[in-house]
Amino acid sequence: MSDAARNARRATESLRSLRARFDEALVHHGRLRCWLGHDEPDEGECIAVKHTEAGPAETPAWSTFCCYRDASFPTTPTLAPPGSKPYLDVHGTPIASRSGEPFAVIPPIERTVLVFGERRAWDVFTALATRAGEGISAIPLTDFAPVPAETFRTANPALRWIFLLFDGAWTQRWPALRAQRDCIHHQQIFPYDLQQLRKLKRHRVLGPQLSFPDRWLERLPHSFTSELDDLFSASSAAIDILTEQAGNPPNAESPVSGSSERHTAARPMDKEPEDGAPYLASRAFPKSLRSDTLAKAAEAGRVRRIRHGKHWRYSWPDAHKEWSHIVPVDPPKPKP
């Protein structure tokens, strides 16, 4: 076995060992919602990054601002493709040749990360995400998502893990790990999708104060925002995918748009679920939580457990909602 294979195996085993701990942290501490602002200048704009205009109004449990990529030039100075607009330097001067042809520029990227939830939950997540982020460079990620080199270069391993979660969620390949992107203009939020933007413009559903630049109809802006509903469940889903425990392409089951959690259809409380099929008693519940995790939490008094016939009903509040989940008292026996 080569050194690379051994390193990949160790990193995979380390991730598997963290899977249940992310589940337990969700039960004990509640969700951690994560908002990301990706700021990158477009052609014709100043290379000094303008920060995202709008973000959630709540007070975050944790926030950071980091340089995801420095501004630079290609190793061999070259001109930008024909028809490109020149970037501007900090003085507003076009970065171009004497004849006015724009030089090729690798624009900077800066990111803002806001995390909402309990501070203790963030502290627990940081410890787990640091361990998860330390080994991702050794794991093959080709089938997971196109991961930019800048994600691997992120110095903070916990932040590196968060960026990896977003990279995977933006592919929209995995039902358990998805996130939408939005673009912002004059503090108004618009879908980060050319077809939807063109439809909005074509049907003239936007008033004079809800408009965006016409250039967005040809090419999406480099800057955008995105959000993961819960870092704990997103981490569990990513580990399943990366360790090939549940890493299959999407099936017919359709998740809630923009959510990083696993969902199943809601059913009335007065109907018994099929044996062995966890389901939603009232609200969306991350199915990534395992029955043994809930049982241990109930024994420790951290969640409520009530027996309904052949099933246990687990429930507990967090900062956002009342979670509720039903599982069979005795696991179903395999059919001969």
Residues 245-272 have pLDDT tens digits of: 433 444 433 333 333 333 322 223 333 3
| Domain coordinates in residue numbering, the chain | 3-71+107-235, 72-105, 264-336
Residues 20-29 have pLDDT tens digits of: 999 999 999 9
Whole-angstrom CA distances from 153 to 35, 70, 134, 136, 294 are: 21, 11, 11, 11, 37
Amino acid code (one letter) for 125? F
Widest CA span in the chain: 82
Question: How far is residue 35's CA from residue 56's CA, in Å, rounded to a whole number?
Answer: 8
Each residue's pLDDT, cut to its tens digit, for the chain (336 residues) gives 688 788 888 888 999 999 999 999 999 999 999 999 999 999 999 998 777 765 677 889 999 999 999 999 998 889 999 989 999 998 999 999 989 999 999 999 999 999 999 999 999 999 999 999 998 988 888 888 899 999 999 999 999 999 999 999 999 998 899 999 999 887 788 889 998 888 887 766 555 556 788 888 889 999 999 999 999 999 999 999 998 743 344 443 333 333 333 332 222 333 333 333 332 232 334 444 556 666 776 776 666 777 666 666 666 554 344 455 555 666 555 555
